[in-house]
Structure 1
Amino acid sequence: MSIQVNFELTDIDLEHFRSMMQTAIERSSHLSDEEIINKARELVDQMEGTNVPEFVRTRMMSLSALIDAVQDEEWQMPEDEKKEIMLSLAYFGEPEDIVPDNVPVLGYIDDAIMIELVLQDLSLDLKAYREFCGFRATEEARRGEHAKVNRESWLASTRAQIRSSMRRNRSGAKSSRFFSRIM
Structure 2
Amino acid sequence: MSLEINLELTDADLAHFRQLMDAAIAKCERLSDDEIITRARALVSKMENATLPEFVQCRLLSLNALIDAVQDDEWQMPEDEKKEIMTSLAYFSEPEDIVPDNVPVLGYLDDAIMIELVLQNLSLDLKAYREFCGFRATEESRRGEAASVNRESWLAGTRAQIRASMRRSRGSHKRVSFLSRIM
Match of 2:156? Answer: 152
Report the alpha carbon displacement of residue 59 of structure 1 after superposing the two structures with TM.
0.6
Unaligned stretches of 5+ in structure 2? 166-183
Match of 2:181? Answer: none
Opposite residue 134 of structure 1, the aligned amino acid is G
Deviations 1:51-110 (A, max 9, x none): 111110011100000000000000000011001000000000112111001111110010
Opposite residue 107 of structure 2, the aligned amino acid is G
Q: Secondary structure at the match of 1:77?
A: coil
Opposite residue 102 of structure 1, the aligned amino acid is N
Match of 1:172? Answer: none
Deviations 1:13-55 (A, max 9, x none): 0111011111101110000000000000000000000111111
Verify the 8 A CA contact 2:25 2:90 in the aligned structure 1. Answer: yes
Pair 1:155–1:75, CA change in 2 (3 A): closer
Report the alpha carbon displacement of residue 152 of structure 1 after superposing the two structures with TM.
2.2
Report the alpha carbon displacement of residue 155 of structure 1 after superposing the two structures with TM.
3.7
Confirm or deny that 1:124 pairs with 2:128: no
Verify the 8 A CA contact 1:76 1:151 in the aligned structure 2. Answer: no
CA distance in 2, matches of 1:21, 1:151: 35
Unaligned stretches of 5+ in structure 1? 162-183
Verify the 8 A CA contact 1:25 1:90 in the aligned structure 2. Answer: yes
Q: Secondary structure at the match of 1:100?
A: coil
- TM-score by length of structure 2 reads 0.83
Aligned residues: 161
CA distance in 1, matches of 2:102, 2:144: 44
Percent same amino acid at aligned positions? 69
- TM-score by length of structure 1 reads 0.83
Report the alpha carbon displacement of residue 157 of structure 1 after superposing the two structures with TM.
5.6
Match of 1:86? Answer: 86
Verify the 8 A CA contact 1:36 1:90 in the aligned structure 2. Answer: yes
Verify the 8 A CA contact 1:40 1:93 in the aligned structure 2. Answer: yes
Match of 1:178? Answer: none
Match of 1:52? Answer: 52
CA distance in 2, matches of 1:128, 1:28: 27
Pair 1:144–1:157, CA change in 2 (3 A): farther
Confirm or deny that 1:11 pairs with 2:11: yes
Opposite residue 77 of structure 2, the aligned amino acid is M
Match of 1:77? Answer: 77
CA distance in 2, matches of 1:42, 1:120: 23
CA distance in 1, matches of 2:93, 2:159: 33
Q: Secondary structure at the match of 1:144?
A: helix
CA distance in 1, matches of 2:66, 2:162: 21
Opposite residue 46 of structure 1, the aligned amino acid is K
